[in-house]
Amino acid sequence: MKTQLSHYRISLVCRLLNVSRSGYYAWLNRPAKSTVLTGHIKKQYWYHKARLGAPSLVHDARDKSYHVSERTISRVLQHLGLRSKAARKFKYKTDSGSGHNVVLNKLNKAFNPDKPNIVWVSDITYIKTGEGWLYLCVIIDLYGRKVIARQTSRYINRHLVCQALKQALFRRAFLKNVLIHSDWGSQYCRADFKQLVLHYGLKQSMSRAGNCWDNAVAESFFHTLKTHIIHDCYYQTRELANKALFEYIEIYYNRLRRHSTNGWISRQQYERQFYQNNKIIEVSMV
């Protein structure tokens, strides 16, 4: 059809071929639009450092006014030979204490509170470096799944979890009556940690023995963290590992990465929307 337009009027060619003018012009523009979309997807893929696939990237595209489906994004990624960092099979484990000073599970898998600072969950993981192990403790607010505290140490002890809790309390203006949930690792059973909980008017909860699913949100976070910046990465020093953790948690995970539970917006944005919608002064320093 395009070749015939040099000899005949477009109205005649369209009528003979039973094609509408608008359909013809849409066809002409399609390659250009496709090229622009492909460029956008490629740019966003590398912006997120190959961490995201089509389910999340489609929302980035729609925010930029591209009317596309997840399937379209998936086809573009496949055409470009791009895949998100594959999720590895995750083996849950519980580093249980002796059973002394264990408290009841008050959370009972109620992972979706209706506002911030109702439940915080905590857990510990480890990262191998050229200088030895680096232990990471995080505290996550279940509303929005935002990491509100992170502490690292070369030692896995009560000081690690106590410092993380103090940081969470400081960042959340020392709110009272928050439920702090963890597994029953020995660090959370220590008197120092329990005294902090009592002193600041918090409530403590622990998973049932050997039941990792009782703390599934924290476990899931560590799974994502390790897939994105731990597996297939090597940190020569603890300092380099700490820098990577800061960039990932404080900048990327909390502020940029979308979460399906939050309606595909970031944790920071989801929490901020709560305060704005309810006309409440935001109680957060992160």
Which residue did the predictor score with more confidence, 262 or 72?
Answer: 262
Residue 122 CA to residue 6 CA, distance in Å, equals 71
Helix, strand, or coil here: 219?
helix
Beta bridge partners of 180: 120, 204
Residue percentage of the chain with pLDDT more than 90: 56
pLDDT digits 0-9 by tens, 186-212: 999 999 999 999 999 999 999 987 677
Helix-helix angle 10-17:21-47, to 10 degrees = 90
pLDDT digits 0-9 by tens, 87-98: 444 444 444 455
Q: Are the beta carbons of 217 and 111 closer than 8 angstroms?
A: yes
Beta bridge partners of 132: 129
Residue 106 CA to residue 65 CA, distance in Å, equals 44
Report residue 228's pLDDT band, with 50, 70 and 90 as the boundaries.
Answer: very high
Query: Which pLDDT value is given to residue 60?
Result: 76
Q: Are the beta carbons of 94 and 212 closer than 8 angstroms?
A: yes
Residue 52 CA to residue 260 CA, distance in Å, equals 12
Whole-structure pTM value: 0.76
DSSP state letter for 143: T
DSSP state letter for 235: B
Q: Are the beta carbons of 255 and 271 closer than 8 angstroms?
A: no
Q: In what order do the strands lie in the sheet with 203-206?
A: 146-153, 132-141, 119-129, 179-182, 203-206
Query: Which pLDDT value is given to residue 196?
Result: 96
Query: Which pLDDT value is given to residue 33?
Result: 53
